């Protein structure tokens, strides 16, 4: 019986330590129609972060970093969904370009003996470019999370996904941006 219990504990510990070395971000736009955007636009997302670290885990004297492959595609999908649900027509042939720059998108987790904290920080810049003018603005958001014991990667992913979705909702409902798009 002791051998079975010991073997079970060993398997459980091994499974916990074999998490993939990447963070899976997939924000989903859930806010529905919050405004009305009457514009034809082409969209792009550009990752301008200095490095591709999306999660930094600080544990006493060790620092572990994880990237999030496919981040720009995931954010673009969320942006396109938000714009479309709010009336914008997305087309690669549109003369108005809507560019979203990712300046910062990262969670820093600090692990202590019996607790952990996570601080997420996102900064997104937009540029809307027409043949004779352009509009730009920066949107920032942050969120904090605390919990007992070690962090749960799914909760950190959820924290970043929710914050990204909140910022994109703020972007598509920005009266200045809408006025420029329709002007």
Question: Mind listing the pLDDT tens digit for each residue in 121-171?
Answer: 999 999 999 989 999 999 999 999 887 887 778 888 999 999 999 999 999
Residue 54 covered by a domain: yes
Q: Tell me whether residue 115 is in a domain.
A: yes
Q: Find the farthest-apart pair of alpha carbons in the chain and give their distance in angstroms, rounded.
A: 78
| pLDDT of the residue at 93 | 92
Residue 16: in which H helix or E strand, if any? helix 2-17
Strands 62-67, 89-90: pairing is: unpaired
Q: Is the Cβ–Cβ distance between 150 and 61 less than 8 Å? A: no
Tell me if 17 is assigned to some domain: no
Instruction: Quote the pTM value.
Output: 0.84
Residue 9 has pLDDT above 60, yes or no: no
Question: Does residue 13 belong to any structural domain of this protein?
Answer: no
Model confidence at 3, pLDDT cuts 50, 70, 90, reads low
Per residue in 27-50, pLDDT tens?
999 988 888 889 999 999 999 998
The mean of the pLDDT values for the chain is 87
Pairwise CA distance, residues 15 & 5, whole Å: 15
Write the CA distances from 6 to 2, 19, 101, integer angstroms.
6, 21, 50
18 in a structural domain? no
> Residue 12 domain-assigned?
no
For residues 126 and 136, is the Cβ–Cβ distance under 8 A?
Answer: yes
What's residue 146's pLDDT? 85
pLDDT tens digit sequence for 75-103: 999 999 999 999 999 999 999 999 999 99
> pLDDT grade, residue 1 (50/70/90)?
low
Report the domain count for the chain. Answer: 1
Q: Is residue 92 one of the residues assigned to a domain?
A: yes
Q: Quick check: is 141 in a domain?
A: yes
- Find the CATH number of the domain harbouring 170: 3.30.160.150
Full domain range(s) for residue 148: 23-182
């Amino acid at each position: 019986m002791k051998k079975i219990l010991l073997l079970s504990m060993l398997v459980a510990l091994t499974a916990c330590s074999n998490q993939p070395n990447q963070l899976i971000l997939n924000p989903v736009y859930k806010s529905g129609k919050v405004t009305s955007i009457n514009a034809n636009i082409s969209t792009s997302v550009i990752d301008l972060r200095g490095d591709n670290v999306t999660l930094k885990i600080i544990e006493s004297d060790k620092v572990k970093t994880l990237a999030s492959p496919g981040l720009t595609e995931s954010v673009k999908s969320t942006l396109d969904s938000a714009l479309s649900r709010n009336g914008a027509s997305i087309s690669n042939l549109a003369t108005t370009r809507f560019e979203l720059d990712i300046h910062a998108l990262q969670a820093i987790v600090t692990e202590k003996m019996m607790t952990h904290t996570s601080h997420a920080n996102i900064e997104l810049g937009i540029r809307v470019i027409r043949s004779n003018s352009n509009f730009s603005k920066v949107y920032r958001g942050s969120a904090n999370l605390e919990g007992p014991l070690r962090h749960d990667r799914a909760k950190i992913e959820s924290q970043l996904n929710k914050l990204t979705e909140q910022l994109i909702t703020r972007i598509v409902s920005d009266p200045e941006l809408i006025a420029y798009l329709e002007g």
